Structures are given as structure tokens and as C-alpha cells.
Amino acid sequence: MKELISSEDRELAITICELLDSKKAENIELFNVTHLSNLADYFVMATVSNNVQAKALADFIQESLGKVNVKLLRRDGVNDWIILDYNFVIVHIFTPEVKEFYHLDKLWNDGKNVYTLSSIKKMLDKEEKNEKQKVEKDERVEKYIAEREEKARNREARKILRTGNSQPKMDDVKNQVEEKLEKKTKPTKVTQSDKIKKDSKKETTSKKAQPKKDLKK
């Protein structure tokens, strides 16, 4: 079945079908003729039992849509066949005899473009279900992203609590390393007292190293 693409004109055509149904019109059909005609995008057809009902139904649709500022471009026909032209949506209200004689429903039916009230309802229910699923999916995605962001914030908070605020800055670390390196490479000053101690230590070591004299000689 050819898809009824969502638009203001489609919504108008569906609304007209619902108005016809509320007044007990019969054989209500919505034709998607976007690919078949330059006259309109949608034809709505319905049958009534007599001329009086046809006029009353046409008046009712015109008045109802007029209240919501939907402008009727043209109204043609009398008695057993009335046409309401809403630009991209054209409504045909006729008796069963006229419908049978002119076969408009067969003329504009390609086998895939006709919607009855029941098929319109199924289509709308399916669209509503798909929209609901899309909203639920978007909500799940947003919830997942929010949870991931919250976990990331918690991890960062735990890191800060573990390290505290005493963590040195990089400049301080560099300075400390340079000071340690400087201490290792800097020559040590030798004082006079250190020299005397050093010479005394050498002399003592030298005496210990000399062999003892042989007393027997």
C-alpha cells in the first residue's frame, strides 16, 4: 500500500474522513493520488442515501473546517453529487447510483493507494507506536549518557580525594630535582682542620704498615 506521507494535507484528508464518519456517511475512502494526478494529492469519497443527506453533509464539513480557518476554494454540484475543493484535498459526496455510474473509485484506484477508515486507524496506531518507541529509545540513550557522565565525574572526584590538595606542582618538582643534582656535582670545600686530620690519618696508617724490627739481631 502506498504510504500516506505525513503532512497538513494528509491530516486534513483524514479529518474529513472522520467528519464524514461522524455523520454516518458510508463507503468512506481516502485515495492518495499524488502520483496519479495534478489536480490534488488526496481524494475523499463517500456515499449518502439521498440528496438531502448529501447537502447536509457537505454543509457540515464546510462549516466545521471553516471554524478552524480551513478555506474552501470551490463548491460544485447539487443534489446527488457535491464536490468540495480544498486545494490539495478534493471531497466527493454522492449517492450509490452516481458512484456506480461514474466509477470514480475505480478510476483513481491503482491497487495500493486506497485507505478505508479501518486501514487509516491502523496506520495512525502504527505511527503512534513508532513515535512512542522512538521517544523511549531517545530517553534510554539520554539516560545512558547521563549515567556515563556521572560515573566519570565520580571517578575524578575519587582521584582528587585520594591525592588530596598537597600534590606538588610540576615547577616545584623540577626545582627539587635540580637542587638534588646540584648537590651531587658541587665540589666539597676542604678546611685546614680537615687537612690535619687527613695527614694524621695517613701517618697512622703508614706506621701500621711498617714491619716490626727483629729484636734477636
Q: Where are the domains of the chain?
A: 8-128
Per-residue pLDDT at 187 = 57
Maximum Cα–Cα distance for the chain, whole Å? 166
CA atoms of 48 and 53, how far apart (whole Å): 6
In the chain, which stretches have pLDDT less than 70?
Answer: 1-6, 156-217
Per-residue pLDDT at 158 = 67
Per-residue pLDDT at 140 = 83
Per-residue pLDDT at 25 = 95
Q: Is 180 exposed, middle or buried (0-12, 13-18, 19+ CB in 10 A)?
A: exposed
Per-residue pLDDT at 151 = 77
pLDDT, one tens digit per residue, over 67-102 is: 999 999 999 988 899 999 999 999 999 999 999 999
- CATH 3.30.460.10 for domain 8-128, yes or no, is yes
